[in-house]
Amino acid sequence: MSAFDALKSQAKADAKTAIVDHFTADPSRLEALSLEVAGLYVDVSKQSWSDAGFKSALKLFEAANLKGAQERMWSGQAINVSENRAVLHVALRDSDANNLGLRGPEITEDVASARKAMQAYAGAIRSGTITGATGKKFKTIVHIGIGGSDLGPRLVYQGLAALNPDIDIRFVANVDGSELALALAGLDAEETLVIAVSKTFTTQETLANFVGARDWLIKHLGEDKAKAHMAAVSAAPDKTGAYGIAPDRVFGFKDWVGGRYSLWSAVSLSVIIALGFDVYERLLNGAYEMDQHFYHAPLNKNAPVLLAAAQIFNRIGLDRPSRAVIPYVHRLRRLAAFLQQLEMESNGKRTSPTGEVLASATCPVVFGDEGTNAQHAFFQMLHQSEDVVPLELIAVQHNSEASADMQQKLLSNVIAQGEAFMVGKSYATAEAECKAMGLDEAQTKIIAPQKVCPGNKPSTTVLLNELTPETLGSLLALYEHKTFAEGIVMGLNSFDQWGVELGKTLATSVLKDITGDAIAPHDASTTALIKRVKG
């Protein structure tokens, strides 16, 4: 029997036992299925697996040779085969070139010089040595980028920004001009720095927004002065000159940094300026601690592997097609959006790197919102639908911004939800509640079934000691490695994104139809929509 078939049959057997009964059967369950690392406590004991199920999931990582894949990644081999690129975001947080193999010195030198340039520029802006053209200090950065050039920096900034920042960041991603208009509203151009962030510097949304922001700067400051208010970050620095950005305001990174893994590079320049280089270094240090853990820890005590194994068990073992990510952390309210790109763009694939169609399902739908808000929105369905949606519940234990009372209320909610999803509410309990409400037998027969929650819904809990640059760095690296480990087991290349291209190509041809005289042939629905928007 293949390791996949063994997992599927064990998973089906495990699912016949209530999760809560797995605890009764195995007193060492929590100890075996939880760990602490890099400021995080990770608990996968409320998943549907038995010990045998957990072990059969781990076997897949052995069978796929995760260790070999880690070595190939860290040593700079071109594991992104379709684009013939190395995948070395780990090098951005590895100041000792640990595990980087022969390419270590060359890479760390490159990383060090990029960091030096960012540190100098960010420091000069923060101290006021570099100012706007009229001598005023920069107070707002307009960060323009999309996808990986937006989601990571936005999450980190929201996660770590001071309550009253000296320098604020406004993010602009969408080509819907309202986002740019809202970002620029009320700003003083003399105190505003616009940074265009794009790995390729060809992305339609980013270039359109940058042109709009540049026009706004020119309108308020004139063409010459506007130049002092523009910077760019790109792995294609040669393309930035065409947009009037001075070469000494362009910060680069290498093509071995994938877009959705790029927050550790100059893509976070605006965050480095706003929060300080020391905060950025602490973020890298937290990620580095998780990198070392992922590289060295055994599979059964390896946090990214535990999360990946839970997902493989649910998705492949039990055919559960979605996963909810619920951060009970307002500052991490965009975590699900970040993970949607990280996981779904990385692993939402249907073929192997050699082009064969894969036999098993790959990435689930990842969705979510912050708790407790989500409890008042879509949790009803998660509690009572027959569909099983595994959850990830994320919380921060100590929060100096919150009163003790509010923090206790928040934490009691996250803990209670994990328990509620697992234990559910039986018919007997519902019946007793009806009786206590004074309902008669006939009414009870109608109401009690409606109150039943089947329970047995799996969840993983991740608890951060505190939300610091270090723990945020380790949390994000945890998910990066989870995604990588899943990709290895599922037998796909997590580092390309061919599926995104179709929409981009068609958008270009539809734009021609909208702006030109003629409309190319389409289906009746598409043609009608084009005619409508042409007016």
Catalytic residues: 345, 376, 504
Q: Least distance in Å: CB of 368 to ligand F6P?
A: 20
Q: With respect to ligand F6P, which residue has the nearer C-beta, 262 or 460?
A: 262
Is the previous residue joined to 140 through a cis bond, with omega within 30 degrees of 0? no
Residue closer to ligand F6P by CB (options 266, 462) is 266
Distances in Å between the alpha carbon of 29 and those of 49, 56, 461? Answer: 10, 16, 15
Nearer to ligand F6P by Cβ, of 428 and 506: the residue is 506
Minimum distance from residue 267 beta carbon to ligand F6P (Å) = 8
Among candidates 490, 459, 496, 495, which has minimal Cα distance to 480?
Answer: 495
Helix (H, G, I), strand (E, B) or coil at 149: helix
Q: Tell me whether residue 107 or residue 263 sits nearer to ligand F6P (CB atom).
A: 263
Q: What is the dihedral of CA 495, 496, 500, 505, to 10 degrees?
A: 150
Nearer to ligand F6P, 263 or 430 (CB): 263
Q: Considering the complex, what minimum distance in angstroms separates the CB of residue 471 from ligand F6P?
A: 24
Between strands 459-466 and 40-43, the pairing is: antiparallel
CA dist 236 and 254 (Å) reads 9
Name residue 233's amino acid: V
For residues 460 and 307, what is the distance between their CA atoms, to the nearest angstrom? 8
Least separation, in Å, of the C-beta of 83 and ligand F6P? 11
Burial of 209 (0-12, 13-18, 19+ CB in 10 A): buried
Minimum CB–partner distance for residue 121 and ligand F6P (Å)? 20
- Cβ-based nearer residue to ligand F6P, 161 or 236: 236
How many residues does the structure list for the chain?
Answer: 535
CB of 500 to ligand F6P, least distance (A): 4
- Residue type (1 letter), 312: I
| Exposure string over 516-535, b if 16+ CB within 10 A, otherwise e | eeeeeeeeeeeeeeeeeeee
C-beta separation of 276 from 126 below 8 A: yes
Q: Which is nearer to ligand F6P, 39 or 153 (CB)?
A: 153
Instruction: Give the full edge-to-edge strand order of the sheet including 140-144.
Output: 168-172, 140-144, 192-197, 230-234, 250-252
Helix (H) or strand (E) holding 37: strand 34-37
- The dihedral of CA 372, 378, 384, 389: what is its sign? negative
| C-alpha dihedral, 53 to 58 to 64 to 69, nearest 10° | 160
**Least distance from ligand F6P to the Cβ atom of residue 497, Å:** 5
Q: Report the nearest approach of ligand F6P to the CB of residue 96 (Å).
A: 28
Using the minimum distance from each CB to ligand F6P, give the nearer residue, 56 or 497: 497
235 touches 253 (CB < 8 A): yes
Task: Give CA–CA dist 518/531, Å, rounded.
Answer: 10
* Binding-site ranges for ligand F6P (CB under 6 A): 146-149, 198-200, 203, 206, 259-260, 345, 497, 500
